Structure 1
Amino acid sequence: MRLVADTRPPRTTAALYDCVVSHARTGRVRHSFRHRTFLWLIDPDDPPRLPRPLRAAARFDPRDHFGGHAPTIRAALDDYLAAQGVDLGGGRVRMLTGARVWGYVFNPITLYWCHDAEGAPVCVVAEVHNTYGQRHCYLLRPDDDGYADVAKDFYVSPFFPVDGAYRMRVPEPAAALSVTVRLRLDGDVPFTAVLTGERRGATPGALLRLLARNPWPTAKVSADIRRHGVRLFLRGLPVHARPAHPTQEGLR
């Protein structure tokens, strides 16, 4: 029997990123803020296995991604990609996300760097959640510098219409993480979000240190978004009505 070498890249070792999220809004009302959080970089085919006492602090549940009904996160991603005409051929995926912590999760954005069977990059999927319980995926084809442009199709902030386009920079993270999302609307850039982070080993000790500083990061992110939204409303920003959002093809 002839043995055939597996040319696929090795599975991704899970990592933690100690992050800073910055939002800047320009235009009629200027507003900016920064907050600390932490995120995971994992292989959805092989999520980290934590000691039992820490499992409630980091769960990766298929219900929290895509349509929420697939048996695994990877199966849901493959379903979505198939509906867009993309087949990874079993290639590896790296997923940047917040875990479910103490039973609660809210991920404004989850990123999936998708590779083919030989390890070449194919696409990036940006899965966006809003505070109304809705989700939407953007299929990105970044250039060599990590930039991709995509029309805005999803209601996120009540202070912006579902118009314009995003300019995203989504290079695959290494020792450092750097992601930028800019909204382009009517020739201006009224909103910019920047996510930066430093890689940490995905060890129980590293997780405990991050939790000591930020014990419930998912709840804090959700509360911060609402708190800043109230401040903007009180400063007189008009609210745009939220349109119906149809279920995307491939999100079962």
Structure 2
Amino acid sequence: MGKDHQLRSGIFQGWVRHRRFTPVDHRFTYSMFMPHIYLNELDQLDKQVKGFGLSLFNFARFRRDDYVKGDPDLAQAVKDKVYALTGKMIDGNVTMLCHLRYCGLYFSPLNLYYLHDNEGQWQYMLAEVSNTPWNERHYYAIPAPQYWQGREYSHDKAFHVSPFNPIHQQYHWRVTEPDSNLLVNLAVSRYKDCISPSEYSDDLKNSHQKVFDATMQMRKQNFTSAILIKQLLLTPIMTIKVVIGIYWQALKLFIKGVPIYDHPNNTPYEKVNKHKIKRGNDNA
């Protein structure tokens, strides 16, 4: 059945690593897999891949309401979101690197949507960022690397993700388009005038010195029943692994005495509450 149609979608398997450089050194690496889905192949994946589907009775389920709100067609909703953020409408294919709903459970700290023009040229990446326990969601539109001025794309942080990171930071992205391999690196820098004396060190000499980074490096596998089942056997419920990992590392940071920063309550966000969504200041 899986031979009926050659799919471009894949399952990326690899690792994610977090490194914190100040005020204490803290780092960890986890193995992880994430489906990379051409949204125009969803129906075909539903037919060909056992264990994956759009309906309730699938171990790995794509549920439309878990992702960007708006148009019932997720690809169109992603294009509309990028248009709202940038004023540019991208007309080609949309792919997504995401977590699915496993055994009915879903949480994804980061989903990435790749938008292409009608010639297949990658134009934008939409980063869908979610936090816990606040259950909020925020979006960043990142132009494809050919439009960058240098080796990375930088912008101010606008969304509270971790209580161990303040809001006054900058993000620096380095990304590749999903192909046979995938790389996503997000470095976080903090303005020097926002660093307390107790945190200052020789490593923070510059006004925008890196204090944290997250890297995801993965290799593509075919999106087949056998490979999906293999990944599910290795990690039956990825959602639980992700959430437990977040809180376990948070406990370690708390024990190490890393300062805690309150939620600023001043950023645009989407409030996610089961099947409903409450909009914050702007949603953009």
| Residue number in structure 1 paired with 2:183 | 178
Listed one character per residue, the Cα deviations across residues 97-130 of structure 1 (whole Å, up to 9, x for unaligned) are 1111111122111111111112222211111111
CA distance in 1 between partners of 2:218 and 2:231 (Å): 13
CA distance in 2 between partners of 1:53 and 1:184 (Å): 41
Q: Which moved more, 1:158-167 or 1:140-149?
A: 140-149
Unaligned runs of 5+ in 1: 1-10
Matches for 1:43-192 after TM superposition, within 5 Å: 43-47=38-42, 48-49=45-46, 50-51=48-49, 53-55=51-53, 56-67=58-69, 69-84=70-85, 85-89=87-91, 91-131=92-132, 132-144=134-146, 147-186=152-191, 187-192=208-213
Letter in 1 for 2:28: F
CA distance in 2 between partners of 1:137 and 1:75 (Å): 15
Unaligned runs of 5+ in 2: 1-5, 192-207, 269-279
| Residue number in structure 1 paired with 2:245 | 224
Give, in angstroms, the shift of residue 248 of structure 1. Answer: 6.7
> Of 206, 227, 239, which residue of structure 2 is paired with 1:206?
227
CA distance in 2 between partners of 1:99 and 1:74 (Å): 16
Scaled by the length of structure 1, what TM-score is found? 0.87
Decide whether aligned partners of structure 1 residues 95 and 12 sit closer, same or farther in structure 2, where only a CA change above 3 A counts: farther
| Residue number in structure 2 paired with 1:194 | 215
CA distance in 2 between partners of 1:110 and 1:146 (Å): 22
Listed one character per residue, the Cα deviations across residues 29-60 of structure 1 (whole Å, up to 9, x for unaligned) are 11100111100111123322155654423222
Partners of 1:92 and 1:114 within 8 A in 2:
yes
| Residue number in structure 2 paired with 1:32 | 27
CA distance in 2 between partners of 1:220 and 1:70 (Å): 31
CA distance in 1 between partners of 2:51 and 2:100 (Å): 15
Tell me the C-alpha RMSD between the 2 structures.
Answer: 2.0
Report the secondary structure of 2:61's partner residue: coil
Q: Which moved more, 1:33-42 or 1:146-155?
A: 146-155
Which structure has the highest helix share of the two? 2
| Residue number in structure 2 paired with 1:3 | none
Give, in angstroms, the shift of residue 219 of structure 1. Answer: 1.5
Report the secondary structure of 2:127's partner residue: strand
CA distance in 1 between partners of 2:216 and 2:50 (Å): 30
Decide whether aligned partners of structure 1 residues 217 and 201 sit closer, same or farther in structure 2, where only a CA change above 3 A counts: same
Partners of 1:164 and 1:185 within 8 A in 2:
yes
Partners of 2:108 and 2:130 within 8 A in 1:
yes
Partners of 1:83 and 1:249 within 8 A in 2:
no
Q: Which moved more, 1:26-35 or 1:117-126?
A: 117-126
Q: How many residues align?
A: 239
Give, in angstroms, the shift of residue 250 of structure 1. Answer: 6.3
Report the secondary structure of 2:40's partner residue: coil
Identity of aligned residues (%): 29
Decide whether aligned partners of structure 1 residues 162 and 220 sit closer, same or farther in structure 2, where only a CA change above 3 A counts: same
Give, in angstroms, the shift of residue 154 of structure 1. Answer: 0.6
Partners of 1:146 and 1:171 within 8 A in 2:
no
Report the secondary structure of 2:177's partner residue: coil
Letter in 2 for 1:194: T
Scaled by the length of structure 2, what TM-score is found? 0.78
The alignment status of 1:236 with 2:262, answered yes or no, reads no
Partners of 2:38 and 2:93 within 8 A in 1:
yes
